[in-house]
Structure 1
Amino acid sequence: MNIVSLADWRRRVAELYTDIRRAADPETAWQLWRETRDELFRGHEQSPIPAERRAQYGGIPLFDYDPELRFEVDLAAPATGEVLAGEIGADGQIALRPLARTRGLAGKLGGELTLYWIEGYGGGLFLPFTDATSGNETYGGGRYVLDSIKSADLGQTDDGRLIVDFNFAYHPSCYHSEDWVYPLAPPENRLPEPVRAGERMAHSGNSNS
């Protein structure tokens, strides 16, 4: 692995999410997210798209932007549940400690989600989920909204509520290539309603790509 190019990838993703948090409005931020990630996926050495497919890769399939799927949630703590452990390929194991439950999603999506803290040096927030689209319109293993150890962090409001915007939901890299191993969404983080926002599989409808 080219460590220098990996550092560049992480730097560019971190800069992207900084720009997202500073954007004038959420849809402008989403457009930037879409365009920047398309560029990275098509041309960067660390792209999860296999090298032989990148030249023909048209862009990441996304659902249309939906402002109703952006939430500012409170957190109910502490969350109950065991620490989850899983394999992440060459990086060994990851441990996810339940941190809190969201409050503010159930009215629209039929349930709440557990927010996890990634154990280990530096730590980070992690919010994976599945929903009624999983396995047919989106990856069956789930999608991520937040993974702050990878800089995917949408920030919070001035009064401390967490921003959970499903328009920024994305598939883990293992969806794109078997060379990657990432944790899947746990059963307790399944939303009963469909979340048609963020990344989708290429064959599903209602998209910008």
Structure 2
Amino acid sequence: MSLTLLDWRRLVAELYARVRAADDPEEGWRAWGAGRDALFVGHPDSPLDEAGRARGGLPLAPYDPALRFRARLDTDVEPARLQLPTADDGVVAMDRIGRVTLGDLGRLDVWWLGGYGGGVFLPVRDASAGTTTSGGGRYLLDTIKGADLGGDASSLVVDLNFAYHPSCTYDPRWSCPLAQEGNRLDSVVAAGEQLPPGGWY
């Protein structure tokens, strides 16, 4: 680990703070996309290799305001715990803390990632997985890493336009928690980060 990784995490946290502060969600999304492009192309801790950086940024689908939800966290769920082995972080525990309903798209399990302090984790795998998006799914929220769109004591802002790929999508040396059965949607979500033609590797 190095201070460049600290800088990466600080910049990500600042980027999401700007998103939460934006008066217009689409304006926040544009800032998010531009900020991620700058990080992935220019930061020393980018998961992209030189060929990936040369592409000039991350493909994003157009913004769709219908895919933004303020979703109440339904905590009336059976407890569930997952133990996920990773290459660098050992075994990471995930506890299901509830579910959110995203209109007619369906429901997604919300997880609490273990470790110091912990945080909310919300992955999603929709019917685009394996074609225009990663086969393992994408992430919507990962508050340990600063990916937090807001909410209050009983709800979360869940905006599918902010769906992004985990690091293992760009480089096989990374290992990432993938979307479980309760984090899958039957519909194609044509929003958020997309794969470039041929994928990243």
Query: Which bracket does the TM-score occupy, shorter chain normalised?
Result: over 0.9
Q: Is the 8 Å Cα contact of residues 124 and 184 (structure 2) preserved in structure 1?
A: yes
1:138-153 matches, cutoff 5 A = 138-153=133-148
Aligned to 1:11: 10
Match of 2:132 among 133, 137, 141: 137
Give 1:120 deviation, angstroms. Answer: 2.2
Q: Is the 8 Å Cα contact of residues 79 and 97 (structure 2) preserved in structure 1?
A: no
Aligned mates of 1:90, 1:195 — CA distance in 2 = 31
Q: Supply the RMSD in Å over aligned alpha carbons.
A: 1.6
Q: Counterpart amino acid of 1:186?
A: Q
Give 1:91 deviation, angstroms. Answer: 1.4
Q: Is the 8 Å Cα contact of residues 115 and 126 (structure 1) preserved in structure 2?
A: yes
Which one has more relative contact order, counting CA pairs under 8 Å at least 6 apart? 1
1:166 aligns with 2:160: yes
1:199 aligns with 2:193: yes
Aligned mates of 1:88, 1:18 — CA distance in 2 = 28
> What does the per-residue CA deviation read over 1:128-156, in whole Å, with 9 as the maximum and x for residues that have no partner?
01011111111010000000000000001
Aligned mates of 2:53, 2:113 — CA distance in 1 = 35
Aligned to 1:126: 121
Aligned mates of 1:9, 1:37 — CA distance in 2 = 10
Number of equivalences: 198
Aligned mates of 2:146, 2:156 — CA distance in 1 = 15
Q: 1:194 aligns to what SS in structure 2?
A: coil
Aligned mates of 2:70, 2:53 — CA distance in 1 = 38
Aligned mates of 1:100, 1:58 — CA distance in 2 = 38
Give 1:75 deviation, angstroms. Answer: 1.3
Aligned mates of 1:20, 1:58 — CA distance in 2 = 22
Could you list the runs of 5+ residues in structure 2 that have no partner in the other structure?
none
Q: 1:113 aligns to what SS in structure 2?
A: strand
TM-score by length of 2: 0.93
Aligned mates of 1:138, 1:46 — CA distance in 2 = 22
Could you list the runs of 5+ residues in structure 1 that have no partner in the other structure?
205-209
Aligned mates of 1:122, 1:55 — CA distance in 2 = 33
Q: Counterpart amino acid of 2:167?
A: S
Give 1:56 deviation, angstroms. Answer: 1.3
Give 1:89 deviation, angstroms. Answer: 1.4
Aligned to 1:75: 73
More off after superposition, 61-70 vs 79-88: 79-88
Aligned mates of 1:124, 1:135 — CA distance in 2 = 28
Q: Percent identity?
A: 48
